[in-house]
Structure 1
Amino acid sequence: MCLFTGNSKWEFWRRPWLIGHYITAVVASISFGLFQPEQSEARIRVLEKLPPLPAYIKESSIYVFTENGTYHLTVFLILIPFICIEVFIFVKELILTTSTLLASKKMSDRTYHLQRKFFIALVIQCGVPIITLIIPFIYSWISILWKYYNQGLMNIAVITTALHGISSTLVMLIVHEPYRKAVKSFFIPEEGFRKWYGMQRNTVILSVYLVFFGF
């Protein structure tokens, strides 16, 4: 997905682009911690702003992430559109690259169908963050800006966000056949695993090399 053969400019900027994303994610996450208030006083102020709550909620351990979400909202309003634009550009380039190779007859029909299958799987996989991250995020900020408090809906939003990791993994296993085969290999007899490993060894070695050395 991050490699377009023949595009010399992209080949030059690919590594800085990837490194920049890692740095941005780490810096943004760490910066959120700078806005965490002193908890004992913050809990009192937050409970005063909320509508009447049951005693067990007030007496439970409450962690106040921030009292002023302006910075957090600004970061998300910058990053989310930026990521959406990136996804759009990559999808467009992927379609153009595939169409160009197909038109120039440098891509066989079988390769085209594999590429098409991969593209559909990628679209499905990209849809997971929309459900598990963006929708809960939108609801959370609407509830903050409109001062609407609904503990049930907020619990659903938090649980949905917490399920992002496992849901992304499950979708990846469902839509990508090589990953399914790799997982299934752990549940078949040892001889079967050795046979599968023998066939896939070169692919695994190449994948590891690309991850650690070729980005």
Structure 2
Amino acid sequence: MQRQGIPPRFVGGLRVTDAESLEIVVAVLGGLINKELVSLMEQLGGRCIGLSGIDSCMLTCGIANPELGYVGEIQSVDTGPIRALVDSGYIPMIAPLGVHRFDGSDNAGKPLNINGDTVAGELARELQVDRLVFLTDVAGVMDGGGRVISRLDQRRANMLLNSGVAGGGMIPKLQACLRGLEGGAVADIIDGRHPNALLDCLQGRSTGTTITTSLNSRS
């Protein structure tokens, strides 16, 4: 987008997507980035297939907020393609794109951009996963003094959102974690820049923020 001279704009931590930006988003997220990640996964020995939420209308949406442009608010999730791939031994690599519901409007069937954190939270909820891990470029959720909060429950996470302590890109991440918890997941927000960060997290050595339904529960 920078090369095309399109400056990014954000509202509430979410990127605004106009018609010109949408073409770039679909081409880059659904094409270039998705296939690069699939190739990397294959090099590491995984059997991986790239998809987007547009395929088989996995993610059907409406317009989330006219101020955000062509950004989708997920209204229904079809987990069938994901379950079929996993049951067949494949790792789905899913680009965060959706399709506007077929409602006869001018936007019917149009691809829509969706925040990746939001997609992860909705899929975690619908698939009822055990773990939801966000690899980010920050150390975790910070308190008002800039210190990482190692453990959160639903109540405290909502307090951080409502008080404004959590802001910017952390807003959709925390909201996605709370959605994942509804399906039974334990959620983690960790610094993906650290070597072996994901492995350490899954082995109980997370240095980021773990979010559970209550502070007494941990899967």
| TM norm structure 1 | 0.28
Q: Decide which structure has greater strand share.
A: 2
Q: Decide which structure has greater helix share.
A: 1
Greater RCO (Cα-Cα under 8 Å, separation 6 or more): 2
| TM norm structure 2 | 0.27
